[in-house]
Structure 1
Amino acid sequence: MSLQSDLNAVIGEVGALYHERAEETRMITLGMLAGQHTLMLGPPGTAKSALVRELTSRISSAEYWEILLNKFSAPSQIFGPIDVGALAQGQYRQILDGHATTCEIAFVDEIFKCSSAALNSMLAFLNERVYHPESGGAPVACPLISAVCASNELAEDDTVDALYDRLLIRMEVDYLARPESFEALLLSAIDDGQQQAAQTTTVELAALQQAVRGEVPAIALGAAVRSALVDLRADLRHREIVSSDRRWKQAVRLLQASAWLAGREQVSLDDLAVLTHVLWDVPSNRGTVDRLVRGYLAPDDREMADVADQIAQLGRELDRRLDAQDVDGLYDWAFDRHTLLRTAHRSLSTLRATAVEEGRATSWHDAQLEAAERIYRRILTEGLGMDEGAVNAQLASGGAR
């Protein structure tokens, strides 16, 4: 099998183990292929660290390193402690083995709690892949391919802005939303390991490094995509959503990684979908970025984005009506919107099926369907008062996966 096939198999297997994490799994993988870093932002207990460990364990021979930071974490905890034996002989040096300086894959938990003392060293490590020893001298080259960082919340201290900017991919992770996913979680608590994937595909570190250094950068970036990126940047700036020049340049490598993983020799407009996880700076403008990016995709994806946006608007309207506590008005509204929502849900299912037939990645389509089903389920239960069995039957007849 080719490396592309193996990586796609890994994504599928890990996605099957961790429900509602298919998009996160794919984006972390693309981050590795692009030689870039991923931020997973979400509350505790959402399988962030477990997902990273499972995914990165599929890279044979890679040195993995992780750390949980706090505001007192010293640079020596990250890059290596002082060699006490050498110090006794009058030599000042650090023990670098087994720390960040020697790993290919890193997981940094609570990244925004990086101490001010370690901040500059962390910046150089992530961006330039070098570490400047405490004793001075030549910088130490680090073999880091990609780091996955996690945090329960964004930092309010602007001193970490430079660190935040170096995390190209930004993923919001929340608790499980789909009832069937939650049920599977409950079953896994009493399972003796049978829930593990039937296959455990791995990839060789050397093959991954070759792709990162040579194959992915060789993917062409055509004029149509370049033009779309120029226009997209202008659209975002018009809405005061600004990304640094460095992020745009790094985003190109992520687009190349997306095309490479799909087996193409040139970036296509479909690959722009990954930018929905790159170009937002705060969660409140993520929806705006998503809609703008989707406007540059292939017609089917634009249609899916429009339908998903309509369903999201219905969800916001449902919240407003629930807050108003108008029971009779809520029922009438939900009844009137029911046919519209069912048709929209079927459209999403059809568009996803088309993407499958065309061999395109469907993690984004899955996420849109999951979001639509959550809102559909809420309108049926909270708006129309249906029980769970009736809701499941309705979703099944409405074209759910």
Structure 2
Amino acid sequence: MDAPDPQGTSKQLRAISDELSGRFYERADVVRTLLVTLLAGQHSLVLGPPGTAKSELARELTGRIEGASYWEILLSKFTAPTRMFGPVDVAALARGEYRQIYDGRATTAHVAFIDEIFKCSTAALNETLGYLNERIYHPESGGAPIRCPLIGAITASNELPAGEDTAAIYDRLLVRIEVGYLADPSNFAALIRSAVGRPTAPARTTVELAALRHAVTEAVPAVDVPDGIVDAVCTLRAALRRKELIASDRRWRQAVGLLQASAYLDDRTAVAETDLSVLTHVLWDSPAERPTVEREVLQLVNPDAKEALDLADAIEELEAQLDAMAGQSREALSEWVITKAHHTLATAGKRLEKLRAEAAGAGRSTAAVDRVIGRQRAVRTRVLTEALGLDASMVQSQL
């Protein structure tokens, strides 16, 4: 049997990323990061409020792996380990034998989605840690541990862990991605229209399990990590330590695999500075730390992203002002738009487009700038629809 073609596999994965990014509004970075995490053989956490498509996105992504055994569960504090890893075989028990049925459970899964991961019961905690850490399960009846074929797990939660027990699980989830409700009113309008329209059959690229396994075990580890990237990681670590943001040595070491996976996904044989941007999802513990980490990472990657984040602060402040003016008269809102909001948003928009052009011309990643451009357009749409009463569809057609 011929070895899978690495370029063909990365091309398929990029196609999957593009298809899901088009289907799930404002989730392009989330989709790419989940794919990179899976390619690195690591686990991810999608953190956000209910109703943000966490489960749907995870199912759609994992469902694109042909031939893979998939397992999904919604945890609660009462979930027993046997429900996760294999129920007791009642027929065998009647014969005096204690045996578990593993088919269709975590024990046989190649990919997994674990919802409400931090509601893991105390009884299942140790087995879950062993499953995520070493990919092993210790049978209830004793005996040799079972090796599980898990490549990676996507987990989700509406909240951060509350106790020390579940904090141990949190520490094992290398990648942490925050999601929120749709910010751009035009995307929200498109979402509403999709609920009443007749859906068309979307493109559905898949990747074979064998090809994905080969990428995870052979192709990704073979990606070169130049000395310049090692120096950049050391510089980043020192910068974060000065701000009292400390990540464990284990987390830093595992992060190297993410850098290699990011390069592989883009069909490159060596890690580049642009791949460092994935570390914005790795090096924080609380969401309050994420903006600081993002700034330090992107400042290292390219100056365009750093300036874009500074512009993002001004845009966020403007949106906060809009929220504070809720209930005011249309005249007051119109005056605010004319004297403040329009100029700020227009200036930011022009500068962001210039930054994007400069980054693209220099061969640097435009991902961070693109995210801020999206925020600028979303806030502009909010201002025009909520303050001036314009129709969201008409505003979108002008962007």
| From 269, 291, 294, the counterpart of 1:265 | 269
Count of residue correspondences: 392
CA-to-aligned-CA distance 1:63-94 (integer Å, 9 cap, x gap): 11100110000100100011222223333221
**What are the within-5 Å matches in structure 2 for residues 373-388 of structure 1?**
373-380=377-384, 385-388=387-390
| From 118, 122, 130, the counterpart of 1:112 | 118
| From 255, 262, 268, the counterpart of 1:251 | 255
SS in 1 for 2:31: helix
Give the Cα–Cα distance (whole angstroms) in 1 for the partners of residues 344 and 121 of structure 2. Answer: 52
SS in 1 for 2:268: coil
| From 184, 187, 199, the counterpart of 1:181 | 187
Give the Cα–Cα distance (whole angstroms) in 1 for the partners of residues 229 and 341 of structure 2. Answer: 38
**What are the within-5 Å matches in structure 2 for residues 20-99 of structure 1?**
20-99=26-105
Q: Which residue of 1 aligns with 2:3?
A: none
Q: Which residue of 2 aligns with 1:204?
A: 208
The amino acid that maps onto 1:98 is G
Deviation for aligned residue 1:60: 0.7
SS in 2 for 1:290: helix
CA-to-aligned-CA distance 1:197-218 (integer Å, 9 cap, x gap): 2x21111110110000011111
Give the Cα–Cα distance (whole angstroms) in 2 for the partners of residues 100 and 61 of structure 1. Answer: 16
The amino acid that maps onto 2:118 is F
Which deviates further from its counterpart, 305-314 or 85-94?
305-314
Say whether 1:370 aligns with 2:358.
no
The amino acid that maps onto 2:254 is Q
Q: Which residue of 1 aligns with 2:246?
A: 242
Question: What's the TM-score once normalised by structure 2's chain length?
Answer: 0.89
SS in 2 for 1:217: coil
Q: Contact (CA 8 Å) 1:23, 1:364: kept in 2 or not? A: no
Q: CA RMSD in A?
A: 2.7
Deviation for aligned residue 1:360: 7.0
Deviation for aligned residue 1:192: 3.3
Q: Contact (CA 8 Å) 2:223, 2:260: kept in 1 or not? A: yes
Q: Contact (CA 8 Å) 1:380, 1:391: kept in 2 or not? A: no
Deviation for aligned residue 1:261: 0.8
Structure 2 CA distance for partners of 1:391 and 1:104, relative to 1, 3 Å:
closer
Give the Cα–Cα distance (whole angstroms) in 2 for the partners of residues 73 and 276 of structure 1. Answer: 33
CA-to-aligned-CA distance 1:238-285 (integer Å, 9 cap, x gap): 222222222111111111111111111111111111111111211112
Which deviates further from its counterpart, 367-376 or 132-141?
367-376
Give the Cα–Cα distance (whole angstroms) in 2 for the partners of residues 278 and 57 of structure 1. Answer: 25
Question: What's the TM-score once normalised by structure 1's chain length?
Answer: 0.89
The amino acid that maps onto 1:387 is G
SS in 2 for 1:175: coil
CA-to-aligned-CA distance 1:219-248 (integer Å, 9 cap, x gap): 111222212211212222222222222211
Q: Contact (CA 8 Å) 1:109, 1:150: kept in 2 or not? A: yes
Structure 2 CA distance for partners of 1:17 and 1:328, relative to 1, 3 Å:
closer
Q: Which residue of 2 aligns with 1:19?
A: 25
SS in 2 for 1:296: helix
The amino acid that maps onto 2:169 is L
Structure 2 CA distance for partners of 1:162 and 1:45, relative to 1, 3 Å:
same
Q: Contact (CA 8 Å) 2:304, 2:369: kept in 1 or not? A: no
Which deviates further from its counterpart, 337-346 or 115-124?
337-346
Which deviates further from its counterpart, 95-104 or 167-176?
167-176
The amino acid that maps onto 2:255 is A
Which deviates further from its counterpart, 58-67 or 369-378?
369-378
Deviation for aligned residue 1:396: 6.7
Q: For structure 1, which runs of at least 5 residues remain unmatched after alignment? A: none
Give the Cα–Cα distance (whole angstroms) in 1 for the partners of residues 229 and 310 of structure 2. Answer: 21
Give the Cα–Cα distance (whole angstroms) in 1 for the partners of residues 198 and 389 of structure 2. Answer: 32
The amino acid that maps onto 1:79 is F
Q: For structure 2, which runs of at least 5 residues remain unmatched after alignment? A: 1-6
Give the Cα–Cα distance (whole angstroms) in 1 for the partners of residues 38 and 371 of structure 2. Answer: 22
CA-to-aligned-CA distance 1:156-181 (integer Å, 9 cap, x gap): 11211110011111111111221222
SS in 1 for 2:275: helix
Structure 2 CA distance for partners of 1:191 and 1:96, relative to 1, 3 Å:
same
CA-to-aligned-CA distance 1:134-163 (integer Å, 9 cap, x gap): 222211111101101111111211211110
Say whether 1:159 aligns with 2:165.
yes
**What are the within-5 Å matches in structure 2 for residues 307-346 of structure 1?**
307-316=311-320, 322=325, 331=335, 335-336=339-340, 338-346=342-350
Q: Which residue of 2 aligns with 1:233?
A: 237
Structure 2 CA distance for partners of 1:334 and 1:235, relative to 1, 3 Å:
farther
Give the Cα–Cα distance (whole angstroms) in 2 for the partners of residues 201 and 136 of structure 1. Answer: 42
Deviation for aligned residue 1:340: 3.6
CA-to-aligned-CA distance 1:45-74 (integer Å, 9 cap, x gap): 111111111111111111111001100001
